[in-house]
Amino acid sequence: DTGVSQDPRHKITKRGQNVTFRCDPISEHNRLYWYRQTLGQGPEFLTYFQNEAQLEKSRLLSDRFSAERPKGSFSTLEIQRTEQGDSAMYLCASSFLSGRAHEQYFGPGTRLTVT
Amino acid sequence: QKEVEQNSGPLSVPEGAIASLNCTYSDRGSQSFFWYRQYSGKSPELIMFIYSNGDKEDGRFTAQLNKASQYVSLLIRDSQPSDSATYLCAVSPSGNTPLVFGKGTRLSVIA
């Protein structure tokens, strides 16, 4: 399977705990995006990378959130001191920066439940 | 604040009919437009993209873009029950940049 992969697919954690999610993009894609989606809403942008450089962070990304893409391949998203409001589907997408071809393809998502 | 608006639905159409889904966007400088299909509990799946004014057809799907009216639509011909899903409209304000999504339109195709 050469699509975007995410791990884990589901995570249940207690409030106050830290969680980390991983995303592996499509191999030739150099841009990687993180979005968050709650019930009844469209995905909301969190942050994105071009290769290993983090280009932009959304105001949704409080200081409890951090993301890395250390070697320009996979990325991790960490949430510290989780809150119940962090419960959502965390989606990763990737694209290839080349001319006008910049379609973003999503992974299966990680569903986070904070109890 | 860049916004993308969609009617939340549900939009119900009989099997075999044409389903028409609409989307408006606020940023006049937006460059790229996408339609994603999302089944319940699953992640969004890219089904169409369009960059220029006019129509773009791919199988049973046609995307239509009118930049002057800041309007993009998706037509699904010969709708099937398997097309029942939420359809998300997404806009890239400056080309290869983060997408701004609408809340989606729920489509129900009745057999």
B90–A contact, CB cutoff 8 A: yes
- The pLDDT, as a whole number, for residue A94 is 95
Residue A114's closest CA among A22, A44, A38, A7?
A38
Question: Which residues of A are less than 8 Å from B100 in CB distance?
Answer: 45
Which of A91, A102, A105, A112 to mutate: most B Cβ within 10 Å?
A102
Confidence of residue A96 (pLDDT cuts 50, 70, 90): confident
- Flag whether residue B79 sits within 8 Å of chain A, measured between CB atoms: no
Strands A44-50 and B85-92, how do they pair? unpaired
To the nearest whole Å, the CA of A82 is away from the closest chain B CA by 22
Does residue B51 belong to the interface with chain A, where contact is any CB pair within 8 Å? yes
Question: What residues contact A58, with CB distance under 8 A and at least 6 apart?
Answer: A44, A45, A46, A47, B98
B27 in contact with chain A, both atoms CB, cutoff 8 A:
no
pLDDT digits (tens, 9 = 90+) for A16-59: 999 999 999 999 899 999 999 999 999 999 999 999 999 988 88
Shortest distance, CA A95 to any CA of chain B (angstroms):
8
CA-based nearest distance A16→chain B, Å: 26
B108 CA: distance to closest CA in chain A (Å): 16
- Find which of A57, A104, A110 to mutate to test the B interface (most B CBs within 10 Å of its CB): A104
Count Cα neighbours of A66 within 13 Å in the Cβ-side half-sphere.
Answer: 7
pLDDT in tens, B23-76: 999 999 898 999 999 999 999 999 999 999 999 999 999 999 999 999 999 999
pLDDT digits (tens, 9 = 90+) for A102-111: 799 999 999 9
Which stretches does DSSP call E strand in chain A?
A: 5-7, 10-13, 19-24, 31-37, 44-50, 53-57, 65-68, 75-79, 88-95, 105-106, 110-114
The pLDDT mean for chain A works out to 93
| E strand or H helix at B4 | strand B4-5
- Say whether pLDDT at A11 is over 90: yes
